[in-house]
Amino acid sequence: MHKLTVQYTDPADPATFDAHYREVHVPLAAKIPGLRRFTLSKPRGLGAAAPYLIAELWFDDADALNAGLGSPEGAAAAADVQAFTVGSVAMFAGEVEEAVVG
């Protein structure tokens, strides 16, 4: 599996950001070809600043991730990010590896 992680910080108006994200952006991103899983979290810092929202988009492999992001649906979701008034947006992707515990 490969995962695209997107971190958003400091929205100018959190309520407006949340509404647009859930009502407009999530439906756009959900149409990206090859998307297997799409999760959202609002972490809270434990002694350090935390992003306001983290989105994780999961794909079968790097090829599927790149194809999905390069598709018209991926381009539409990427263009919508420009509508957000946030402090910053950080995106990174990589292979997901299970860590064995116990």
pTM of the entire predicted model = 0.90
d(Cα 52, Cα 63) in Å, to the nearest integer? 29
What pLDDT does 48 receive?
73
User: Does residue 28 belong to any structural domain of this protein?
Assistant: yes
Burial class for 100, CB neighbours closer than 10 Å (0-12, 13-18, 19+): exposed
What pLDDT does 56 receive?
98
Chain segment 6-18, per-residue pLDDT in tens: 999 999 999 999 9
Chain segment 44-90, per-residue pLDDT in tens: 877 678 899 999 999 999 999 999 999 999 999 999 998 899 999 99
Given a contact cutoff of 8 angstroms between Cβ atoms, the answer to whether 51 and 7 are in contact is yes
What pLDDT does 44 receive?
87
In terms of residue numbers, what domain contains 24?
2-95
User: Does residue 87 belong to any structural domain of this protein?
Assistant: yes
User: Does residue 101 belong to any structural domain of this protein?
Assistant: no
Q: What is the domain-level CATH number for residue 74?
A: 3.30.70.100
* Burial per residue of 11-32, b for 16 or more beta-carbon CB atoms within 10 angstroms, e otherwise: beeeeebeebbeeebeebbeeb
How many folded domains does the chain comprise?
1
